Structure 1
Amino acid sequence: MDDERPSWREKWLPFLPLEGTDTRRGSRMTTWRIEATDTGREPCMTTWRPVKERSAKSSCNPTVTTNSYKMENTKHQAQKLAQWTDAFLGFMESWKHLLNVSRHENIISKTRRKKNLVRCNSSTVLISLLFILLLDVSSAMCPPKCTCDDETLKASCGEAGLEVVPIQLNPDVKTINLEGNRISNVHLTLPFYTNLRWLDVSRNRISTLGVRNFEYQQKLVHLNVSLNEITNLSKDTFRGLKNLRVLDISQNMLENIEGVALSDLPDLAELYMSGNKIISIGDRVFDHLSNLRVLKLEDNQLLDIPTPALRRLPSLKILGLSGNLIESIEEDSLPALRDLRSLTLQGNLISKIHRAAFDGLQSLQLLDLSENNLTSVPTAQLSKLTNLAELDLSANNFVILEPVAFQSLFELRRLRVCRLPKLRRVDVRAFVDNIKLESVVMDDNSALQALPTRLFHGNPLLVDISVRGNGFTSLDSAHFPLDQLHSLSLSDNPLHCNCSLLWLWLLTRKQLDTDAKNLTLAAATNSPDTIPRLDIDGIRCAEPETLRNLLVVDVPESEVRCDASWLAVIIVTIVVMALFALTCGMLLLLGTGRWCKKRDELPEPPHHSHLQNGAVLMLMTTKDNMDSMDNFMLKAKEPLVSEMQFQHWDSIAKENGTAESHVYHMNGNAKKPAHIVYV
């Protein structure tokens, strides 16, 4: 006998099913003949009976127990047998030490290659049993702590304490969940599952994905390897995943993405790489991802926006760059991504945005610039985003919201300006351009102590307002369009509970009564007297001290009512009279007390002598003294100054107890009427 031994792959040739009949039961049974190229060995015949018989008769020794495995001789199984042969050979190479065949040279003698039968020993029977288990479609072995469903072809082994990927699952399985185990690699454990669509190996201990471990998963569309310890991606890591649509490698230890690591994913639509240590991304990394729609790069260490790489993504719709170290957005930082709908830049160090930074993002609908170092609203930059519907500018360093702060954002529907520690004033015209605004959140602005009246009345579609955690001590109903609001959040403000909050007390009481009657707000809004939904459990009084920390809804009505009593009326009347008397006294002291005296008591104004050039000025107290003045004319005499005395003034002077004669002087020869002024 020749000592030449065949190779490992040549030893295990396809298995051929043989039909037979159990004469005792009249039931079908299948006999499997194990063929090999070993000479001088006896055939090993193993017969598998139906599931009710718990043992398998074999011409080999010892007899092998089948547990609950049922084998039927069908054409489908014969096809599956040929399909899995090659995969099984590769598997046996990696697991031969577990099957006691690592020293196969002691079992198989080298001979000429002929098709012969092998004498069956315990190792051969074990191998045949393992292979048949892998081929059994109807009732594969489900590992402990796992849930397997052969109807839906799903297997869930989350938190099952597994250290390797199980290989005894249904070969036709479509979904495998291995989340939260202790698996360290996926080497040579996946070729059996060629029908796999969804694989989750997140929260394990995988440090590398190796190369070509997914080569047989050409139908896989979702792969989640997040929360592992992967440090790099090789060239052929994803070889074979031509139909993969979603790849999640977030929360690993990747530092750089270079070369063609993702070149084998032409249909990839969503890529999640958040929570790594990525410093840079190669310019051509995304060259083959023309169908990519979602790219998440949050919580990495990027110093700049990877502009060259982004230019290769014409179909990108969602871009996440939050939690990096970006300090500015320059004019060309963001390429012209015409289909981009969402851009998140939250939690960076951005203090400067170029005026034209967003010019190429005409389709942008969501922008998050919160938690940066902006000192003012970038009004000019934002005005180019005419389709923007949602904007978040929270946690920046704004001091004021200027007039028309959100200019030209006519499609804006949701606005968040929260956690602005320096915000002190909001201009009444801040939201005038935002005619489609539906929701405004202005929470936790501790330095903001007041809102301008009718701030929100220019937004006819506004239905939700939240101003929680600010510094408001008083609120007026005119601040809010109560007739159109669905919800109004006012909690955690230091309110002074007095009669100025009567409107709020009434709203909270009405809502409390509505809830007590088990009426929904939907039913309540059908009535003409609609009210917004309030967060009544958080609206408390800060002052006066007797009401401190008391819910507004629990404040006694007497504390917020301002009805006038008789005593209050009397007090107000006395105060008004006292003020009137004081005013008169002040006027007397200042010499203007004549309005408080009778006309007869008024002193005669002094009469003055006027020297005019051709005209006479006469001062009269009333028109009563003008009876004798109708024909009075002064005649000019010589150029020298002459005197003319009007006797009627003498009588007035005598009546007033004065003997002063009123003399008027004039020059010139022309006759002119006197100019009379009544005093």
Structure 2
Amino acid sequence: MKLVAGIAVLWLWVAEAVENCPSDCKCSQKSSTEKTEVNCQRRGLQSIPPKLPLDSWILKMGENFLQDLPENILNSVPKIESVKLERNSIKSIHPQAFAGAQRLMLLNLQGNRMSKLPVKGFKDLLNLRFLMLGQNQIASLKPNMFIGMRNLSELDLPLNALTALPPNAFKPLIALKVLDLALNRIQRISPKAFVGLEELLFLNLDNNKLKNIQAGTFGPLIGLEMLVLDNNLLSTLTASTLEGLSNLQELYIRKNEIESLPPDVFRHTPKLTHVGLSGNRLHAIDGNMLANMQGLKEVYLHDNPWKCDCSINSLVHYVAQTRANHSPLQRLRCISPEEFRDRPIHQLKAEELPCRA
């Protein structure tokens, strides 16, 4: 009798969950758990359905026609853990839109039309791990935008309209591991922009408009392991630029405008294993500096205008002796003087390189 009663209760519970499923959506329950996935993807919806199954844990609302997110949109689903709102037409978010969604772990808002984020708009998302804001039109950040998000692990902000990173921009994000700021228009970074990000492992600033980075800017990033600065306008790189990055393992500064590197440039980065410097304006480099980097496994130096005179003697020696993987040797070529133009550097001998005043 108890078994029959239990089955009846279970049947009623499942029936109720199905009954509460919005007519435009498809609901499915995760086997052996009391969790319902609500799939409203590509249904031509202009708003989130007001009634959802009480046990909803995933809500898929991508590729609809939502234009704004009003307050309390998740009040009816206290167990919600994942909300996907990508590729809608969302322009605005009410500061209380996510009120009460304390179990939410993933929020995907990429591919919308937001130009700004609500002040303290994410303060209730105490357990959020992943926030995806790429492919919007976000033009500025303020320190109080991310208040309350003490467990956020990954923040994606690529393909927006950011031009600057202000002081304390990410300070509340004390658990952040990944920060993607690629494909913006960032020209200026405050020396205090990264305060609080001691747990950050990966920082991507690829494809921005950076011309210089002030000394100590990366200082708070004591745990950083990978830094990408490709496709910017940097003309210099010094030891003070990399100060504080004692755990950095991979550094990529490809396709910038760097003309020279001081011999002590990697003084603060003893754990470097991968360095990408291809596509710059380097005409010489101290090969002994590279040789002294004991952990270096890969170094990329091709597509630079190498001046093949005695100033690159140490580089010629390094290329011949190193066991590290490096640039495709045929692409590591001389630009000048004329008698060495287009000669592969690995085919040169130090004693044949001229010294000229």
Q: Please classify the TM superposition score into its range, dividing by the shorter chain length.
A: 0.7 to 0.9
Q: Is the 8 A contact 1:339 1:363 kept in 2?
A: yes
Are 2:299 and 1:440 aligned?
A: yes
Shift in alpha-carbon separation, 1:174–1:431, aligned structure 2, 3 A = farther
1:596-611 alignment runs, 5 A limit: none
Displacement, 1:398? 1.5
Q: 2:154 is aligned with what amino acid?
A: V
Displacement, 1:402? 4.5
1:561-600 alignment runs, 5 A limit: none
**1:187 aligns to what?**
49
Residue 102 of structure 2: which of 227, 235, 242 is its match?
A: 242
Displacement, 1:412? 0.7
1:227-306 alignment runs, 5 A limit: 227-306=87-166
Displacement, 1:253? 0.9
Q: Distance in 2 between matches of 1:233 and 1:468?
A: 53
Residue 455 of structure 1: which of 305, 318, 331 is its match?
A: 318
Displacement, 1:336? 4.2
**1:201 aligns to what?**
61
Displacement, 1:228? 1.4
Are 2:25 and 1:77 aligned?
A: no
Q: Distance in 2 between matches of 1:468 and 1:187?
A: 60
The percent identity for this pair of structures is 20
Q: Is the 8 A contact 2:238 2:261 kept in 1?
A: no
Displacement, 1:419? 2.3
Shift in alpha-carbon separation, 1:73–1:328, aligned structure 2, 3 A = closer
Shift in alpha-carbon separation, 1:459–1:360, aligned structure 2, 3 A = farther
Q: Distance in 2 between matches of 1:303 and 1:151?
A: 43
Residue 184 of structure 2: which of 313, 324, 338 is its match?
A: 324
Are 2:246 and 1:386 aligned?
A: yes
Deviation string for 1:600-656 (max 9, x for gaps)? xxxxxxxxxxxxxxxxxxxxxxxxxxxxxxxxxxxxxxxxxxxxxxxxxxxxxxxxx
What is the CA RMSD across the aligned residues, in angstroms? 3.5
Between Structure 1 and Structure 2, how many residues are aligned? 332
Displacement, 1:266? 1.4
Greater per-residue helix proportion: 1
Displacement, 1:173? 6.0
1:650-669 alignment runs, 5 A limit: none
Q: 1:447 is aligned with what amino acid?
A: P
**2:174 aligns to what?**
314
**1:134 aligns to what?**
19
1:239-638 alignment runs, 5 A limit: 239-420=99-280, 422-443=281-302, 445=303, 447-448=305-306, 452-456=315-319, 462-463=324-325, 465-466=327-328, 469=331, 471=333, 473-475=342-344
Q: Is the 8 A contact 1:406 1:431 kept in 2?
A: no
Displacement, 1:338? 1.8
Q: 1:77 is aligned with what amino acid?
A: W
Q: Secondary structure at the match of 1:454?
A: helix
Q: Secondary structure at the match of 2:240?
A: helix
Q: Is the 8 A contact 2:273 2:297 kept in 1?
A: yes
Displacement, 1:385? 1.3
Choose 1 or 2 for highest CA Rg.
Answer: 1
**1:110 aligns to what?**
none
Shift in alpha-carbon separation, 1:468–1:319, aligned structure 2, 3 A = farther
Q: Secondary structure at the match of 2:155?
A: strand
> Which ranges of structure 1 fall in alignment gaps of 5 or more residues?
1-27, 29-71, 85-132, 155-171, 480-679
Q: Is the 8 A contact 1:441 1:467 kept in 2?
A: no
Displacement, 1:240? 3.8
Deviation string for 1:479-527 (max 9, x for gaps)? 8xxxxxxxxxxxxxxxxxxxxxxxxxxxxxxxxxxxxxxxxxxxxxxxx
Q: Distance in 1 between matches of 2:43 and 2:29?
A: 22
TM-score normalised by the chain length of structure 2 = 0.79
Q: Secondary structure at the match of 1:228?
A: coil
**1:223 aligns to what?**
83
Q: Secondary structure at the match of 1:429?
A: helix
Q: Secondary structure at the match of 2:143?
A: coil
Residue 37 of structure 2: which of 148, 157, 175 is its match?
A: 175
Deviation string for 1:78-109 (max 9, x for gaps)? 4567x66xxxxxxxxxxxxxxxxxxxxxxxxx
Q: Is the 8 A contact 2:319 2:346 kept in 1?
A: no
1:79-94 alignment runs, 5 A limit: none
Q: Secondary structure at the match of 2:146?
A: coil
Q: Is the 8 A contact 1:277 1:301 kept in 2?
A: yes
Displacement, 1:394? 0.8
Q: Is the 8 A contact 1:436 1:459 kept in 2?
A: no
TM-score normalised by the chain length of structure 1 = 0.44
Deviation string for 1:461-481 (max 9, x for gaps)? x246445655464447678xx
Displacement, 1:352? 2.0
